[in-house]
Structure 1
């Protein structure tokens, strides 16, 4: 270095400023490399001797960083503090500082020394850092209706400069009003890094409709804007109305299980209720209470109230439907034929009931007979009904009587060599039949007190046959005359031969009449022929007038 350069260097080192331009500014990112341009990156003068970078210390004194000779490719680091390992110079003479921090927010000066001039270019460096994270912490589980409740705290951490936080509901900014919306901001500075953490706590008095509202916070920073969002909150509010419901089929019928269910419109719903059952307080299972096998005496008003506020109540009147039915007599009743019989109905109901009598599935009148017949026997069913409720009671009437034979008949099937005897009788219980002859092919039937018994017999001689019908109440007997089958067959044979002779005689008579008619006809023909021949001769004219001829024809005999 020549003497002139040494003199200039000494002068610069001593702090003498020959010429300085206006201060420029550079913004760097925290943790990145700061690039500070010299003379805004303009080319160095042709007679450049050296370039030196310096800065102003915190106490206001100058501090040297590095120097680079025009003919040297490497710079000489002059700094002895924390900048020593961090500074360098590039080909454009720009100062490079690695690992930018807030402590690097200073004014750095580039001094350019040439053969003809000495220039200084000061540059102010500022360092920015966007928030490392934006999140909502201390989120509430639920919001309270009409009462300011903490929604959460929005935090934008480690930023420079400090971020600004704005709260929103459904995308629209919230403005603190001191009543419905309360916003409490705060900021914390890290003394080691100098970075700021901004916080904002939101308190909000919700309405029921806010159960679908979406709350969010926006972090605004010169480098970036970030947003954090919360899921909708359940809105808690006290009960304003209580209702009581009867969970049961309707109408409520005596003997049913009836469940009372209490409901309140609060959120969350009350965990328990007090039920007022016929003047007594009981605590149900959660929100229900069950009345087992309810009776008609349990009919009346029921209430439920909140466990912590009995003034909040609801009531419901339970109406119990009931139906009682009895018959006198009932069960199985035995009566003799000709007796009288009637049934008395006793009923009790909570409303108007309809009575229906049936017998064997057919609708009938209520049983009342002055003279019983076998046809009156059967099972009589009384049905008593009203909406939702039906009762059935029955009585079985058995009409009994000793047997009475109503018919005893005989007939012989065509071409058969036996006879069929049929005995018919009425009686209850079912009568048994006895015959005075041996028989085969016995058949019997019994329907509605009418019994029929049929047998087949082969009588070889004329018989008088007796049919007897009996049951535990008595018996009856009837007889019938039955002729011999063989005698009837002989008589039938004789009748057949006589019938054949008569047929022959009839045929002969008819033939004789036909022959006689033919003879008469022939005689008449001959007579007419001779008469004509006597009146009209061949070649002669008829003698007599036309009247005579007419009379002659009228006098001719007829056959």
Structure 2
């Protein structure tokens, strides 16, 4: 029968495993073994009348002790200690008995950190989802936790399909410590109603006795740009206006950001500031009809308009390198208008090319009266590996960490020869595979092969591993060389005087 023992690593604490002994005779020998992948390995022992000792060359060397109560104590518990431990007791004529304990290790992750994207405000009306939050990151958890997104205190369904209006892009990194760092990026197609929404993320993790616990990030709001639909022009004075008063009128729209405003009195231009028109020490001659004109409107009863821009095809286009793609852009307006294309952004990394372009319709006679639509192009191809750097170790047998970075669409799969402990994570528009293994003689001689592949092809590269070159003081090296030279010349019967 295997019993389960739970250890929490909240403070890198110690953990003790009791030796279950059903025998009543005096114990002669106590041996603790760990079992991994069906193989047992001794980690500590105590002979009759002797002190407990730990074995060298095990994952627990120098971290385990056997107490007077025959328990095994592991110092500074690590995720890699999550194994099955066996206590084996030899009791003379009574024979040999053993008992197994399965150790479970728990580390509570850190509070998630939430950051906004570095880009400008999100424009409402785009054809693709935008990056709402740069990253939600929670570090150092075990077992692997998960991230949940919230909008206005309501959880968002976990969606990874990038064709949906709202989706998440998660990634997991297993650190060298064995702890997990997780992150998630939220993408969505916001509406005007989201201008007052609040977003945050929660890391959910498992603790002993199947307890589900949570830690919440700070809350953020998003900056949205959206067009004006209505405008208002109001008098801010709350009492009847009389001569000598200061009169303030305010013009604003329901769009963001606010447009530029122009003011007129009885058809003649007058100067305002932003959306405010202020008249100081008014006189009877200031009476008249005041009008506010915004860049989106001819006036408050505007009849100038431009229809939405239509682009066909509307779907994002994905083509192979060398293929041809074509779009048509159309619009109508109540006045003479123009249509032109402009490139919004692009990422070019052979063999992957991503580009966003925009078709803009404009009425030149009315500044700011425009309509636009975006299109997206993705060019696919086989993966390509970045030129690898040679890794260095102090000596043969040391642990070495290698990185293999590759571009490609769809994202490539990684294969290492020989293999080790691997983790894969995105970095910008590339994928990076990190692998840790021992620098054996074969690895240092032949290197390690990283292979990447997707449905369009493959690429491979050899990651070299070399010894670090020792740095020698140049002056000492020079003097030593001279000494050897003089000694050799003297032994050969010659005498040489050399000036340095």
For Structure 1 versus Structure 2, the TM-score category normalised by the shorter chain is 0.3 to 0.5
TM-score normalised to structure 2 length: 0.47
Higher relative contact order (CA 8 A, sep 6+): 2
Comparing both structures, which one devotes a greater share of its residues to helix?
A: 1
